[in-house]
Chain A
Amino acid sequence: MSTTVWIILAGALVTYLTRIGGDLVLSRFERIHPRVEAALNAVPAAVLTTLVAPVATTGGIAETAALLVSGAIFLRGGGMMTGFVAGAVVLISLRNLL
């Protein structure tokens, strides 16, 4: 096998280890300290924010408008699909018009 294939398989192995690692460690404990629990509860908000905020600062008018429109719909409880499609429509139309 080529070096590339070995690198891919090793990369896949370490990736899989990260995907089971947290559970491997945590499942050994009977009770979880409230501080650890608070940390775990914050994970979705903390990680998802880092996937949105920096990218948002790199966008122009079309990107900002798309985030604002979909954000407003998400905020009013409009649902994932509605907000997502609306954002995509705003983004693609503004990119092609501006």
Chain B
Amino acid sequence: MLEALDFSDSRAEFARGMRRSIPVVIAAAPFGLLFGTLAIANGMSVGEAVLMSATLYAGASQMVGIELFGQDIAPWVVVLSIFAVNFRHVLYSAVSGRATRHWSVLKRYFAFFFLTDPQFAEAERRVTEKKPVTFAWYMGVAVPIYVCWIAEALVGALFGQLIPNPDALGFDFLLPIYFLGLLMEFRERQLWLPVVAVSAVTSVSAFYTVGSPWHVSIGAAAGILLAVIWPAQGSARSAQEQQT
């Protein structure tokens, strides 16, 4: 199933990464614009909105952040909330760290700045495809998403008030469709269905009881816990995926 790809050709790898970034850029664009628009509505300056997208680079936590800026809340509470919403990235870096062990430490910790939900899932998907996660490929995915994300904050901040009816364009629902696609690409993995079932039930329950954004951590924890307590699977991954 593995085509004859030259993974040492950095330019080709970067281009392959860029191709995978296209749906991400499309799906995240409305969200990025919305962030810029809401940041202004919550009293931020254009520069601050752009700074936030460029340095945090994490949509959900940016939304939580500007929501709290609008109110009179102690700065450390805002920072703690951002940390809580982003806590799932600890899992991403643990998982992606395995796939990028062959990089230098400097490259790894530079690249992990860009470790968003889609970036992580695309990298893990490449592992599942038994292809190496090269630095050029990884940055090929990351650069277009990052550049567009900053540009969207700027455009949203400057012109956001001009969009009459963003809902008619399906703005709010493109990311779930994209995430569904990513989710399906992992369906060959061991325990995929039980994990999905448990995470789905738990996250939906948490969504309606505890509330957003905590349903993400709670639902993810339940699915991961299931995998931990599931009777021994051996080191499935080393057998399956590390023979590249």
Contact = CB atoms under 8 A, between A and B. Distances in A.
Interface of A: 2-12, 14-16, 18-27, 32, 34-57, 59, 63, 66-67, 70-71, 74-75, 80-81, 83-84, 87-88, 91-92, 95-96
B91 A67 contact: no
A67 B52 CA distance: 31
Nearest to A17: B83
A43 B177 contact: no
Given A49-B219, A50-B219, A70-B181, A15 B173 contact: no
A50 B215 contact: yes
Contacts of A41: 189-191, 227, 236-237
Contacts of A83: 177, 181, 184
Nearest to B108: A23
Interface in B191-244: 191-192, 195-196, 199-200, 203-204, 206-207, 212, 215-216, 218-228, 230, 232-238
A75 B176 contact: no
Interface size, B (range)? 35 or more
B186 A34 contact: no
A39 B200 CA distance: 17
B220 A50 contact: yes
Given A34-B232, A54-B215, A7 B69 contact: yes
A10 B79 contact: yes
A49 B75 contact: no
B233 A84 contact: no
Contact of A14 (B69, B86, B225): B86
Contacts, number: 274
A87 B20 CA distance: 18
A71 B178 CA distance: 10
A88 B61 contact: no
Interface of B: 20, 22-23, 26-27, 44, 48, 51-52, 55-58, 61, 65, 69, 75, 78-79, 82-83, 86-98, 101, 108-109, 112-113, 115, 117, 120-121, 124-125, 167-170, 173-187, 189-192, 195-196, 199-200, 203-204, 206-207, 212, 215-216, 218-228, 230, 232-238
A38 B121 contact: no
B170 A23 contact: no
A94 to B, nearest CB: 9
Contact of A45 (B61, B174, B199, B237): B199
Given A40-B95, A49-B195, A83-B184, 4 more contacts: A14-B79, A22-B97, A41-B236, A53-B199
A16 B116 CA distance: 11
Interface of A is mostly: helix
B203 A88 contact: no
Contact of B180 (A4, A16, A19, A67): A67
A87 to B, nearest CB: 4
A11 B51 CA distance: 11
Contacts of B101: 27
A81 B228 CA distance: 33
A10 B199 CA distance: 31
Contacts of B108: 23
A26 B97 contact: yes
A48 B182 contact: yes
